[in-house]
Structure 1
Amino acid sequence: MSETPGWSSPDQQPNQPQQQYGYNAPPPPGAQPSIKPGVIPLRPLAVGEIVDGAVTTMRRYPKLIIGAAAVVAAVTQILGLLAQLPFLDDLTALARLDPNAVTQEQAVDQLRDSLVGFFSGTFLGVIPLLLGTVFLSGFVTVVVGHAVLGEPVSFAQAWEEFKPRLLPLLGATLLSGLVISVGLVFCVIPGIYLYVIFALVTPALVLERCGVGKAFGRSNALVKGAWWRTFGVLLLAAVVSAVISWIVSLPFGLLGAAATGFSADPAAALSIGSLVLSTIGAIIASTITLPFSAAVTVLLYVDRRMRAEGMDIELQRAAGHGGS
C-alpha cells in the first residue's frame, strides 16, 4: 500500500492537485470517467457505486475477505457465548424475576446479582468482538485499497501491510468509541454527529499510515462539508447490514423457539440450544455484514478524497493511466 502514491495525504504530496471536482459536481470536460482498473471507476462515486464496489470487492476476493470474516466471526461469537455460560443462571433468574412473588428486599438482591452476571458476561463477550472487529476492519481496508486499482493481493501480503497499523488502530477505535459514547450519554445527536465525523479514521490511519491524532484530523477534514452525504451512505450500509442480519438470523431464531416448544417463558431463549443456534446465525450474518460495512467505509473515504483532493488523478497514474 505504501508504494501507491495516491494514498498519501495532501501535506505529504504538496504538488497533488486540490479541489479537482467540487462536491456533487460532474467530472470536467476531458476527464476519463470510464477508467476502472478495479472495483470502482476512478472518479467521484455515486452512492450506488460505493455499495456496488463493496459487494464487488467481496466477490473478487472471497477467500481473503469472506474467509477472514468467517474466522473472525466464529472466534468472536463462540468466545462471546463461552463468556456468557458461567452467568447463565443469573441471566435466567433475571428473566424470571417476579417482584410480586418475593419481598422487596429479595427482589433487589436477585436483581443486583442478575445484573452483575449480565454485565460481566456482556463485558467479557465484548472484548473478543472488539478485537476481531478492529482486525477485520483494518484487514479489509488493505484489501479494498488494492481492489480499487485491481491489484492481486495475498493474505500474507495484506497482513504484512496491516500488521504495523494494528495497535494504532486499536487505540484509535477505543478513543473514538469513548468520545462517541460520551456524546451519546449526554445527548444522542452529538454522539451521531461525532460518529460520522470520525467514520473515516480507520481507512485514513491504515492507508495513509499516519498517527492516531492525524487520522482523526484527516477524517474530520474529509467529512467537512459533506456530513449529510457521509451520514446517508453510512446509514444505508447500516440498514442493508441490519436487513441481511435479520434475514440470516430469523431461521435460527425460529429453530431455537421450536426447540423450546415456543415456550412463553422468557428464560427459554437462554437455554443452551437456543444460544448455540443464535450464535450460529450471528456467525453467518457477521461473515457478510462486517466486511460489507468496512468496505463501504473505505470506498466512502476514497470517494471523499477524489472529490476534495483530486486523488483520482494520482490513482489513475498508479493504475497506469494519465501522465506522470
Structure 2
Amino acid sequence: MTETPGWSSPDQQPNQPQQPPQPPPGYYAPPPPGPQPTIKPGVIPLRPLAVGEIVDGAITTMRRYPKLLIGAAAVVAAITQILGLLVQLPFLDDLTAVATLDPNTVTQEQALNQFTDAAVGFLTGTLLTVLLLLIGTVFLSGFITVIVGHAVLGKPVTFAQAWDEFKPRLVPLLGATLLSGLVITVGAIFCLLPGIWLWVMFALVTPALVLERCGVGTAFGRSRALVNGAWWRTFGILVLAAVISWVISWIISLPFGLLGAATTGFSADPTAALSVGSLILSTIGAIIASTITLPFTSAVTVLVYVDRRMRSEGMDIELQRAAGHGGL
C-alpha cells in the first residue's frame, strides 16, 4: 500500500519514479482568487475534515463496500459470538446451581466449593470468549483499514486484494493490540484517567501500522505524534462514534432481549437469564448489532487518522496526487 506516496509517513522514503524536469519559475499561472474546488475522489473530501464529514465518510464507506465491510463483519461476529456461546454453555448448570443454592441444605464449605468451581469455570469461559473477540476484532479492524484506505481515493477493491494487502500485517497488528490493551489496562488500574488518556493517545496505532506498513513500536510513536495537540478533538470523535454504536446496538438488541424474557415468562428469577433459549436470542442480537457497529467504529478511527495526517502533515496534497495518478 505504501507504493502510493500518500500513505507514507514523513520519515519514510518511498521509491518514487524519476520526476521529469521542472519548468522554470513563472511557467504556471497563479491559481484564481477565492476558494478552490474541493477534490473528493472517494468517500471524503481530500482536505481537513469536520466531525460530521468523518461520521458521514464512515457511513458512506459502508454503503459503497457493503459486501466487504458488512459481509466480513457478519462472518467475524457470527464466528466469535457463536464460539463464545458454545464455550459458556458447559458452565450454565454450575452457575444456575450456585444462584439457586439453599444455605439451609449445604454447609458453608460445600457452598464455597460450589461457588469456587462455578467462578473458575465462568472466568475460564469468559477469558476464552474475550480472546476470540480480540482475534476477531483485530482481523476486522485491520481488514477494514485497508478497505477505507481504498475508499478514500475512490478505488475499487476485492476481498482477495484487501486480504493480500492486510495479511502481512495481521501478526504485527495482533501484537500491537495486545500491547496497547496491556498498557491501557495498567493505566486504568492506577487511575481511570490515565487509562482514558492512553486509549486516545494510541487509538491510531492500527491505521498507522496497516497503512504505513511500519513496525509495532513505530506505529505507537506515529499514533502519539498524530494525536499530540489534538487529544480532546480525537477523544470527542471517538466517544461520539462509541455513543452512536451503543445506541444502534441497544436498538437492535432490545427486541431480542424482550424475546428472551418472553421465553421465560418474564420471570424475576435471576437464573432465567441463563436459560439456553435466552442466551441464543441474545447471541443473535449481538451478531446483528456487531455487524453494523464494528465496521462503523473502525472506519471512523481510520478517517480520524486520515484527518490528523491531512491537518498536521499536509497529506491531502499527497492523496490528491495519488488519486490522480493511480490507486492503492
Instruction: Determine if the TM-score, normalized by the shorter chain, exceeds 0.5.
Output: yes
Q: Which residue of 1 aligns with 2:250?
A: 246
- In 1: Cα distance, 2:94 partner to 2:36 partner: 63
Q: Which residue of 2 aligns with 1:25?
A: none
- In 1: Cα distance, 2:210 partner to 2:105 partner: 56
Matched, 1:4 2:29: no
Q: 2:73 aligns with which of 66, 69, 75?
A: 69
Matched, 1:293 2:307: no
Kept after mapping to 2: 8 A contact 1:65/1:291: yes
Q: Which residue of 2 aligns with 1:177?
A: 181
Matched, 1:309 2:318: no
- In 2: Cα distance, 1:185 partner to 1:100 partner: 39
Q: Which residue of 1 aligns with 2:41?
A: 37
- In 1: Cα distance, 2:145 partner to 2:127 partner: 27
- In 1: Cα distance, 2:118 partner to 2:51 partner: 45
Kept after mapping to 2: 8 A contact 1:58/1:66: yes
Kept after mapping to 2: 8 A contact 1:33/1:43: no
SS in 2 for 1:34: coil
Q: Which residue of 2 aligns with 1:58?
A: 62
- In 2: Cα distance, 1:32 partner to 1:166 partner: 40
Pairwise CA distance, 1:99: 5.6
Q: What is the CA deviation profile of residues 162-186 of structure 1, one whole-angstrom value per residue up to 9, with x for unaligned ones?
A: 0000000000000000111111111
SS in 1 for 2:214: coil
Structure 2 matches for 1:1-324, cutoff 5 A?
1-13=1-13, 32=36, 34-97=38-101, 102-320=106-324
SS in 2 for 1:252: helix
Kept after mapping to 2: 8 A contact 1:40/1:148: yes
Q: 1:98 to 1:45 in 2, by over 3 A?
A: farther
- In 1: Cα distance, 2:300 partner to 2:103 partner: 47
Kept after mapping to 2: 8 A contact 1:96/1:266: no
Q: 1:265 to 1:318 in 2, by over 3 A?
A: same
- In 2: Cα distance, 1:33 partner to 1:234 partner: 29
- In 1: Cα distance, 2:35 partner to 2:226 partner: 22
Kept after mapping to 2: 8 A contact 1:199/1:219: yes
Superposition TM-score, scaled by structure 2 size: 0.90
Q: 1:219 to 1:107 in 2, by over 3 A?
A: same
Pairwise CA distance, 1:3: 2.6
SS in 2 for 1:40: coil
SS in 1 for 2:252: helix
- Aligned residue pairs total 307
- In 2: Cα distance, 1:44 partner to 1:98 partner: 63
Superposition TM-score, scaled by structure 1 size: 0.91
- In 1: Cα distance, 2:105 partner to 2:190 partner: 37
Kept after mapping to 2: 8 A contact 1:33/1:42: no
Q: What is the CA deviation profile of residues 181-231 of structure 1, one whole-angstrom value per residue up to 9, with x for unaligned ones?
A: 111111111111100000000000000000000000000000000000000
Pairwise CA distance, 1:86: 1.2
Q: Please, which runs of 5 or more residues in structure 1 have no aligned partner? A: 15-28
Q: Which residue of 1 aligns with 2:30?
A: none
- In 2: Cα distance, 1:34 partner to 1:154 partner: 28
Pairwise CA distance, 1:273: 0.4
Root mean square deviation, CA, Å: 1.6
